[in-house]
Structure 1
Amino acid sequence: MTTALRRLRNYIDGEFRDAADGRTTEVVNPATGEAYATAPLSAAADVDAAMAAAEAAFPAWRDLIPAERQKVLLKIADRFEERAEELIAAESENCGKPIALVRSEEIPPMVDQIRFFAGAARMLEGRSAGEYMDGFTSIIRREPVGVCAQVAPWNYPMMMAVWKFAPALAAGNTVVIKPSDTTPASTVLIADIIGSVLDELGHPRGVFNVICGDRETGRLMVEHNVPAMASITGSVRAGMQVAESASKDLKRVHLELGGKAPVVVFEDTDIAKAVEDISVAGYFNAGQDCTAATRVLVQESIHDEFVAALAKAASETKTGAIDDEDVLYGPLNNANQLKQVKGFIERLPAHAKIEAGGEQVGEKGYFFAPTVVSGLKQDDEIVQQEVFGPVITVQSFSDEKQAVEWANGVEYALASSVWTKDHARAMRMSKSLDFGCVWINTHIPLVAEMPHGGFKKSGYGKDLSAYGFDDYTRIKHVMTSLDG
C-alpha cells in the first residue's frame, strides 16, 4: 500500500489554487529520497494571475502609512512564533534539517528579522528638505518600487523567504515569491500565515502571493511586464539569466549568488578554538551556505597541526536523522546536489589528500560525510568553484601578501574571515579582502541590523539592514517654486 502524497498549492489573491493546467511535480524528502508531496508546476496563466493580484493590491498597500504596515509585520512575526512548530516540521521535511537546529537557529532570527523590518518601515531616510536654488524648495520622497518578483533558494527556504518578503512589504511593495521546486512546503505555509494576518487586519489579499514551479516558472516571473523588481538568491548562472531577462524591460535586479569564502588562519591563532568554530561554520547545514567556511588558508608554520585537528573535528561531526539532537547537519538537498559534491571529490587532482570523509553516508537519502581535503593548489577546481556541500579545503600560505592574493583569487566575493591575535594585521586584512563581509576570529554570525551581500560574481544588492530595506525603495525629487 502506498501513502498518498500531500498536495501543496499556489497562493494567489488570498486563495490556495492548483496550477491552471493541473500540472504538478513531486517533492522529495532528502533524508529519505522519497516523495512526500506534490506541488503545482506553474505556467504562464498562473504567473499572470499572481501578478495581476499583486498589481491590484499595490495602490492600497503603497498608500498605507508606515505604522499600519508595521502592525502587519509585527503580527506576522507573532504568528511565526505561535506556529513555530508547524514551520519547523515543514522545513525539516523540506530539507531534512535537524529539528532542534531549525528550532534554535532559524525560527528566532527569522522572527527578529521580520520585527526589524517592521521598525524600518517607519524609518525612511533621505536628505533634508531645503532650498538648493533661490526661490525653490526641494524635498526627497522615498517610495516603494511596485510589484516584486522574488525567487528563493533551497538551502534556507524559510529564512530566505523572510529576507525577501519582509523588506519588500515593509517598504510598501507587493510580492510574488517562488520557492525552489525542491523545497516549496514551508513557503506555502508562510503564505497561509501572512494571508490570515492580512485578512484579520483588513488588507488586500493580493499583497503576498506564492507561485510554485521550476526554473521556467521563475523565468516567466522575471520576464513578466508587471514586476518593477526581480530578486533572486541562487547560483551565478541563475543570476546571470535573471539579469539578462530583466534587462529586456530594465527591471531593477537584486542578486545574491553564492560565495567561496576564504578563512585565513595565521600562525598566532588559537588553533583549538579556530578549528572548533571553523568546523561548525563549514559543516552547518551540510555546507549548503553561500558564506560557509569551506576554503581555509592556513599559514605554513601551523598547517600540519591545524589539518590534523580539523580532520579530527570532522570525524567527530555527526550527520543523520532530523530527530537526533547530536546531529550538526542533515542531508544534501537533492540528488543532483549529491552528484555534484561527489563529482568534486572524484575529480580531485593527484596532489590532493582526503584527510577525512569523502563519501556518501547511509543507504537512503542524500547524506555526505564531513570532509577535509588538503594539499590543494590555488587553481584547483575545488578551490575555485563552489562545492555547496560539507567539504572543507585547506591550503598552506607563506605570508600575509600571499594570503590576500589567494583569498581574493576567486570569482566570488561574498564573505570571508581572518583569524589572528594581531589587531593591526586584522585591520589590514579587513581592508584588503575583497568581500562584502569580513569576520575577525569568527565566521558566519549575522544580525538583522547589518548588511549581507557581496561583490563580483556573488551579485549585488544587500539583504538585511537598512541597506536591504533601501533596495526595495526608489528616490523621487520634488521641487516647488516659492513664488505662488
Structure 2
Amino acid sequence: MTSSLRARAEQALRACGAADDHPAADGELIARTPLDGSVLCRLNPSNPEQVSDAIDQAHQAFSRWRTVPAPQRGVLVRRLGELLTEHKADLADLVTLEAGKVTSEALGEVQEMIDICEFAVGLSRQLYGRTMASERPGHRLMETWHPLGVVGVISAFNFPVAVWSWNTALALVCGDTVVWKPSELTPLTAIACDALLRRAARDVGAPDGVHRLVLGPGPVGEQLVDDPRVALVSATGSVRMGRTVGPRVAARFGRCLLELGGNNAAVVAPTADLDLAVRAVVFSAAGTAGQRCTSLRRLIVHASIVDTVVDRLADAYRQLRVGDPTEDGVLVGPLIREQSWAAMASALERARADGGTVVCGGERLDRAGVYVTPALVRMPAQTEVVREETFAPVLYVLGYDTLDEAIALHNDVPQGLSSAVFTLDQREAERFLAADGSDCGIANVNIGTSGAEIGGAFGGEKETGGGRESGSDSWKAYMRRATNTVNYSDQLPLAQGVKFGG
C-alpha cells in the first residue's frame, strides 16, 4: 500500500504542475500519510534566508500589485478558480493522503476553494467605502479602502487548503500579496496549490511575487510573525500558538487575524426534531475524525430526553464505519498522528475519573495508522476535561433542566467558536441567538456546529481569537481605511465651529 500511496501523491503533484517542486531525497521535512503512517516524500524546509527572500519578493510585488485596479486583480483569482476546478480531483486526493479526510469531505474542501474564488471575484467590484455628511458647508466627508501589504498566512493541517484560499483569494483582490506557511504535516497540498496559483499569475500577467510558499516547522512561522514587512499575520492553530503570535505581532504594531481553538456545544431542547438532531450531531462530532475546529465536543440535552438521545446516538455511533477514507461507505478516517490518540486516551481517562461513562467508542483499531472509534461520553457535570478542547472524536453529553441553565453551561468554557440549538420553539431559538444567549462567533438553529458556508464571516470570540475570515465584510481585515475630507469651497470653516485668526 505504501508504494501505491506514494505514487498517487506523485501523480497528483505532477498533474498540478508541481512534480519537481521542492524535491529532496534526504530532506528533513517528512511528508507522511495518516492512512498508514508511511512516508510520501522528503522535502527541504525553508531556511531563514529563503523565508526572508520570500517576504522581500512579496513586498516588492506589492508595490506593483496595489496599483492594479481591483477588478483586474479579480482576473487572477478567477483564473485560479478555473485551475482549481480543473484539478479538483487531484487536490482532493492530496487532501485525503495528507489529512486523512474521506473522499467526499476532501472534494468538499476543494469545492470551498472554488467557491471563495467566485466570491472574491465578485468582491473585486464591491470594495465599497462610505460618503458621510459633513458638518461644514462645501465639504465632502468619505472613507476609502486601500491595500494593506504582505499577508502572512499560517494554516493548520485539518483544512490544509480551504483556509489558505479564504485568506489568499480575499487578500489578492484587496491588492495584497501573500506568503504562506502551511502546516508541516500537510506540505504537499500546499506545493500543489502554490503551483496552480503561480500558473494563474503567469496566465494573466500578474507580478511573479504575489504569492510565495515557505515550508517548515515553527521557526519558519516565527519569521513571518516578527518581520515588519508582513502587515497582517493570519494564523490558524491552537490557543497556545495564538498566545505567542498575538503579542509578538502587536509588539511591532502589526495586524493579527487569529483562528484558534473551539470547544463547541449544541443544546437539544425538548421540542427538537430528534431525527434531524441526531444526524447533525453525528456528523458534527465524528466527521473528519473530530479534527475540525468546529467539531461538536459538548452536547447539552434536556433531562426529559437525554436518555433517549444518548441511546439513539450510541446506535448511530456503532454503525459508523472507521477505516481507509478512500473506501466507499467509510465515514471516519484516521487521526493525523500518534499524539492525537494519546490526547484522546488521556481525556477519556480523566473523564472516567470525573465520574463519566464511556457509552461507546474510544477504542483504537489494530491496523497501520491511527484509527479510533468516536467516543460518546455521559458526564455528570462540566468538569475541567470537558472545558478543554481535545482535538479528536470525543463527545461529552450533559443534562439540563432550564434553558438558562443550558446557556450557562454552553458559555462556561474559554473558547467561543461555533454553537447550535435544536428546537422547534421559536422563543428558545431566538433566546439562544440573543445578546445573552450563545457567546460564540457562529450560532446556528437546527443545524450542526460544523460545515460553515463561505458567504458568512467565520471566526469566534474569547480564546478562539476574535478573527473573521471568508465572507461578509471579512475583506476589511486585509485593507487599510482612510478617512478623506474634500473642501470644494473657497472658505476654510473649521470643525466644531472653532475660530482661528481674524
Whether these two folds match at TM > 0.5 is: yes
Distance 1:207 1:18, change over 3 A: farther
Mapped partners of 2:351, 2:383: distance in 1: 12
Q: Which residue in 2 is equivalent to 1:360?
A: 364
Mapped partners of 1:437, 1:328: distance in 2: 25
Q: Which residue in 1 is equivalent to 2:40?
A: 36
Aligned residues: 474
Q: C-alpha deviations, 1:410-465, integer Å up to 9, x for none?
A: 00011100011101111011111111111101112422221111111011121111
Mapped partners of 2:49, 2:380: distance in 1: 50
Is it true that 1:436 corresponds to 2:437 in the alignment? no
Match for 1:70: what amino acid?
Answer: G
Q: C-alpha deviations, 1:337-378, integer Å up to 9, x for none?
A: 222112211222331101111111232101111210002411
Query: Between the two proteins, what is the percent identity of the paired residues?
Result: 27
Mapped partners of 1:349, 1:323: distance in 2: 34
Q: C-alpha deviations, 1:32-82, integer Å up to 9, x for none?
A: 011111233223111101101101110211111111111111111111010
CA contact (8 A) 1:397 1:403 kept: yes
Q: C-alpha deviations, 1:183-222, integer Å up to 9, x for none?
A: 1111110000000010111111110111111011111111
Is it true that 1:318 corresponds to 2:325 in the alignment? no
Match for 2:61: what amino acid?
Answer: A
Mapped partners of 1:244, 1:43: distance in 2: 24
Uncovered stretches (5+) of structure 2, i.e. residues with no partner = 14-19, 491-502
Match for 2:381: what amino acid?
Answer: K
CA contact (8 A) 2:28 2:45 kept: yes
Match for 1:99: what amino acid?
Answer: T
Q: What does residue range 56-95 of structure 1 map to in structure 2 within 5 Å? A: 56-95=60-99
Mapped partners of 2:352, 2:373: distance in 1: 20
Q: Pick from 255, 263, 266: which aligns with 2:266?
A: 263
Q: Compute the TM-score of the two structures, normalised by the length of structure 2.
A: 0.90
Mapped partners of 1:222, 1:40: distance in 2: 21
Q: Which residue in 2 is equivalent to 1:328?
A: 331
CA contact (8 A) 1:230 1:246 kept: yes
Q: Compute the TM-score of the two structures, normalised by the length of structure 1.
A: 0.94
Q: Which residue in 1 is equivalent to 2:16?
A: none
Is it true that 1:228 corresponds to 2:238 in the alignment? no
Larger Rg: 2
Match for 1:46: what amino acid?
Answer: Q
Mapped partners of 1:148, 1:164: distance in 2: 8
Mapped partners of 1:16, 1:134: distance in 2: 61
Q: Which residue in 1 is equivalent to 2:464?
A: 458
Is it true that 1:250 corresponds to 2:253 in the alignment? yes
Q: What does residue range 271-310 of structure 1 map to in structure 2 within 5 Å? A: 271-310=274-313
Q: Pick from 450, 475, 478: which aligns with 2:481?
A: 475
CA contact (8 A) 2:423 2:429 kept: yes
Q: CA deviation at 1:293?
A: 1.7
1:156 is paired with a residue whose SS is coil
Q: C-alpha deviations, 1:290-336, integer Å up to 9, x for none?
A: 11122100011111111111111111111211321201121111222
Uncovered stretches (5+) of structure 1, i.e. residues with no partner = 9-14
Q: C-alpha deviations, 1:242-290, integer Å up to 9, x for none?
A: 1021022111000010211111001121223211221011111111111
Which has the higher mean CA deviation after the structures are superposed, 432-441 or 445-454?
A: 445-454
Q: Which residue in 1 is equivalent to 2:496?
A: none
Q: Which residue in 1 is equivalent to 2:100?
A: 96
Q: Which residue in 2 is equivalent to 1:107?
A: 110
> What value does the CA root-mean-square deviation take over the aligned residues?
2.0
Mapped partners of 2:465, 2:233: distance in 1: 13
CA contact (8 A) 1:283 1:329 kept: yes
CA contact (8 A) 1:23 1:42 kept: no
Match for 2:252: what amino acid?
Answer: D
Mapped partners of 2:362, 2:397: distance in 1: 14
Q: Which residue in 2 is equivalent to 1:449?
A: 455
Mapped partners of 1:317, 1:442: distance in 2: 20
CA contact (8 A) 1:132 1:138 kept: no
